[in-house]
Amino acid sequence: MKKTLVAIAALAATGAFAQSSVTIYGNLDQTMFRGTDNGKTYSDIASNAGSTSTLGFRGKEDLGAGLSANFNLLGELSMKEGQMGSTTSGNAATNGGQKPNIFTRGATVGIASATYGSLDVGRVTDQAWVTQGTLNNTGLNSLGWNALTATSTNPGDNGMSTFTGKYAYTPVTAAAAAAVGDGTFQNTRSASYNAKYNGVVTMPTLGAANTAQTGTAPLNFGGGLTYTTPNINGLVGSIQSFGTTNSYGTAKAGGGLAYSANYTTGGLRLAYGNTYRNGSNGEKAISMDVYGAEYKMGAYTFVGGITHTKFSGTFDGLQDNVTVKGLGIGYDVSPQIEVKGAWTQMQDDTVADYKTTITAVTARYKFSARSSVYAGYGKADNKGANNKQSIFYGGTQPSVGATSNTGLLVGIKHAF
């Protein structure tokens, strides 16, 4: 017994029982915004209009020979409510027997090799969605690229017909619905939609895994695994497999694949990503391609991107495909001050006149690498039935039929 204790003590002294290094990290961001919509105004505060507020824990253990074990737990914060979780990555509600979704933005354990890359398993972040986010042309979640790409790639199961012109959002009365033979209409569908589908207004879904894994946003997070290559002469790639809630004899709804590639040389970065998720019958139902580039030249930064969101399978014919294009230019006035100008457009691929265009200017003052204040102004011009786009990420949608809306925001951010 004594020899065993001595041996254990010796092993501990040599570091054989090395402990993981654990870091608490996060981002705290509060935005105050004010918008106009057809002569009316609204204002609020938000924890994700500037950048997403989060709280996380990560750890790493050096295993020797270039290997390391790691974990990451990350949850979204709504600071106004003092609540973790979000409607786009899992609700935080605990009533009715629901489980609290705390680490909605990632919960992984993995192993990494300096030579062979890394493997992470758990709730992973879609790398095509990450690639899309790196092409941000305003430096904020609002007023441009991030706001409109979030709309086009996060439609959710029940919102497919509300953001482009395929079936315009036109609230109807019971009498109007009855006139076209629809006795079970939903107020979020137009009478013509109800007539077309003979009163059957239930949209197909992305499967039960959608709410369990990704909230209302199918193309951002999900249960699965990620393999990422090491950096090979500036090229880094990732491939992912997303699982789903499944049982014997049922379709694998909600599952899918994603991959991305980013190449950096000098001041140039090229980016590509692709992802898809299966529908309720196990077929490919929604997919996204992302293309982009960023170039830094002295105090200037130029960025541009294109995303194509496509619907197929059980969603084919129920929702038009969507394209988002964005351009931006940034200028560092000084090490503390940066300004950006941006142009972003989301367009229905079938009906060219259905589109939303946002122009914006933003500025940021950096007290340090972690703390800053920012401000921004933007204007959204809507055409056709594509008229419900908020220029604020997570903000109130404008009223139906709004031809334009404007927004002003200010905020403060601290990362730790």
Determine the pLDDT at residue 162: 47
Query: Mean pLDDT throughout 84-110?
Result: 66
Structure tokens at 368: 């340090």
In a domain, 192, yes or no: no
The answer to whether residue 27 is domain-embedded is: no
Confidence label for 29 from pLDDT (cuts 50, 70 and 90) = very high
Residue 226 Cα to chain centre, angstroms: 17
pLDDT at 400: 53
pLDDT tens across 67-77, in order? 999 999 999 88
Residue 165 lies in a domain: no
- The confidence score (pLDDT) of residue 111 equals 97
Q: Which residue has the higher pLDDT, 320 or 217?
A: 320
Residue 186 placed within a domain? no
Using the predicted structure, report yes or no on whether residue 186 has a pLDDT greater than 60: no
Confidence of residue 176 (pLDDT cuts 50, 70, 90): low
Q: Tell me the CA end-to-end span of the chain in Å, nearest whole number.
A: 47
Per-residue pLDDT reduced to its tens digit, 50-89: 999 999 999 999 999 999 999 999 998 888 888 876 545 4
Retrieve residue 9's tokens.
């003590």
Query: How sure is the predictor about 35, in pLDDT bands with cuts at 50, 70 and 90?
Result: confident
pLDDT of residue 234: 96
Per residue in 307-317, pLDDT (tens digit) is 999 988 877 76
Residue 208 DSSP one-character state: T
* Averaged pLDDT score across all residues of the chain: 79
**Angle at CA of residue 220, ends 325 and 356, nearest 5°:** 30
**Long-range contacts from 159-162, C-beta under 8 angstroms, 24+ separation:** 159/216, 160/203, 160/311, 160/315, 160/318, 160/319, 161/188, 161/189, 161/193, 161/203, 161/318, 161/319, 162/188, 162/388
CA distances from 21 to 18, 24, 60, 71 (A): 9, 10, 5, 10
- How far apart, in whole angstroms, are the C-alpha atoms of residue 112 and residue 62? 10
pLDDT tens string 129-174: 999 999 999 999 999 999 888 877 765 433 444 455 454 434 445 5
Question: Residue 103: pLDDT band by 50, 70, 90 thresholds?
Answer: confident
* 75 DSSP β-pair partners: 55
What type of residue is 209?
A: A
Question: How many domains does the chain contain in total?
Answer: 1
Average pLDDT over residues 117-130: 93
Q: Which helix (H) or strand (E) holds 147?
A: helix 145-153
Does 138 fall in a domain? Answer: yes
Residue 333: pLDDT band by 50, 70, 90 thresholds? very high
Residues forming beta bridges with residue 62, ordered by sequence position: 68
The residue among 251 and 328 whose pLDDT is bigger is 328
Q: Can you give the pLDDT at residue 179? A: 52
Alpha-carbon distance of 277 to 188, in angstroms, equals 24
Q: What is the DSSP letter of 20?
A: P
The whole-angstrom separation of Cα 60 and Cα 66 is 13
Which residues form the domain of 108? Answer: 46-160+203-415
Helix (H, G, I), strand (E, B) or coil at 3: helix
Token pair of 30, please? 């509060």
Residue 133 resides in a domain = yes
* Burial class of residue 352 (count of CB atoms within 10 Å of its CB; 0-12, 13-18, 19+): exposed
The beta strands (E) that lie in 266-416 are given as 268-278, 284-297, 300-311, 322-332, 337-348, 355-366, 371-383, 404-415
CATH for 262: 2.40.160.10
The predicted pLDDT at position 83 comes to 80
Please report the pLDDT score of residue 361 as a whole number.
98
pTM: 0.81
Asked whether residue 121 is assigned to any structural domain, the reply reads yes
Structure tokens, 252: 């694998």
> For 352-401, what is each residue's pLDDT tens digit?
888 889 999 999 999 999 999 999 999 988 887 665 567 777 666 665 55
Contact 29, 416 (CB under 8 A): no
